[in-house]
């Protein structure tokens, strides 16, 4: 019997805004004007660079970031350095915009839940199933959950930067199971990364994968979780 479910954050419960929306919000906030063509071109370059956390991976990791990129989720400092390093591959009108872009992605406004996320978490709560969020991340995502009304449905948050280890390291999943008082053999891990989230299987957790798609293209990807829990 499943008594606990662990969820990944980005690409599983929530989806980050588009790169173009991200860029527009920061330019508007800074009072910087670019032509429509410049905005589209710059957003495309940022996407290729992989500069938006939670967005597309970089097409190519620059040599100077090669050592940093694999361990970026182990601390807040590493995470910021990695993503602003990618952003700085793209020229912007003001160098300060690179940090502003990073800051924007940490705001609740930059994230939207998948359509079925709230109903699924609510159903798990009604069934008495404990819920944890296990994320490779470099910042505190709790305000995102509070802003969108998800926080009362989450029993524990286990974030890589707070533990100094990142998925697929079994220690992060162990910490999550311990926080929920759940045995790994009675726990289900739900995520979008076979590499990172699949690490829970080493502890004996069941694992279910979802596709990391735009929210409109994945309206009910989480609903199978309810059948798996039983």
On whether the 4-15+111-229 domain is CATH 3.40.50.1000, my answer is yes
Alpha carbon distances (Å) from 154 to 99, 138, 140: 30, 19, 14
pLDDT digit string, tens, across residues 12-51: 999 999 999 999 999 999 999 999 999 999 999 999 999 9
pLDDT digit string, tens, across residues 50-63: 999 999 999 999 99
Extents of the domains making up the chain: 4-15+111-229, 17-109
- Other beta carbons within 10 Å of 90: 20
**Model-level pTM greater than 0.85?**
yes
């Amino acid at each position: 019997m499943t008594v606990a479910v662990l969820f990944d954050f980005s690409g599983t419960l929530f989806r980050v805004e588009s790169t173009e929306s991200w860029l527009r919000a920061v330019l508007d906030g800074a009072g910087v004007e670019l032509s429509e063509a410049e905005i589209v071109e710059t957003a495309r370059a940022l996407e290729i660079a992989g500069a938006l956390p939670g967005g597309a991976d970089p097409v190519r990791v620059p040599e100077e970031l090669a050592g940093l990129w694999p361990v970026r989720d182990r601390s807040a400092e590493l995470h910021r350095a990695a993503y602003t390093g990618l952003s700085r591959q793209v020229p912007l009108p003001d160098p300060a915009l690179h940090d502003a872009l990073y800051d924007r992605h940490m705001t609740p406004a930059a994230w939207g839940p998948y359509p079925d996320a709230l109903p699924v978490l609510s159903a798990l709560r009604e069934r008495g199933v404990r819920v944890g969020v296990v994320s490779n991340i470099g910042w505190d995502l709790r305000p995102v959950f509070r802003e969108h009304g998800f926080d009362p449905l989450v029993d524990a948050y286990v974030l890589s930067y707070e533990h100094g280890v990142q998925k697929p390291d079994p220690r992060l999943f162990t910490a999550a199971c311990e926080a929920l008082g759940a045995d790994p053999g009675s726990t289900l891990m739900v995520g979008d990364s076979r590499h990172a989230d699949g690490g829970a299987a080493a502890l004996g957790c069941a694992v279910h994968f979802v596709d990391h798609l735009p929210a409109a293209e994945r309206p009910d990807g989480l609903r199978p979780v309810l059948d798996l829990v039983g």
